[in-house]
Structure 1
């Protein structure tokens, strides 16, 4: 995902384990310094990363 961001390519990702998905999202946000384009897609509904409850 980060490589696609750096080379201006489109990336579609899927991670089944929520722990790995959270790490991937955090690393992407750290790299891009923005969570504006990070969403959780659940039942065809986009939820902004900032709106997701975190433990």
Structure 2
């Protein structure tokens, strides 16, 4: 979550386990009915996720 200060945003929960925390600009774009593209400036990230169903076995 965005926050004015890192000690009031998400890093307050996991910050102690990190070497570095900081601000980054993230964008989430739906590229299809089940595909999501995540981009971030620093550190640089360009990631596409596609949700699919898995075969379920019933015994």
Range into which the TM-score falls when normalised by the shorter chain: under 0.3
Q: Name the structure where helix makes up a greater proportion of residues.
A: 1
TM-score between the two structures when normalised by the length of structure 2:
0.24
TM-score between the two structures when normalised by the length of structure 1:
0.25
Q: Name the structure where strand makes up a greater proportion of residues.
A: 2
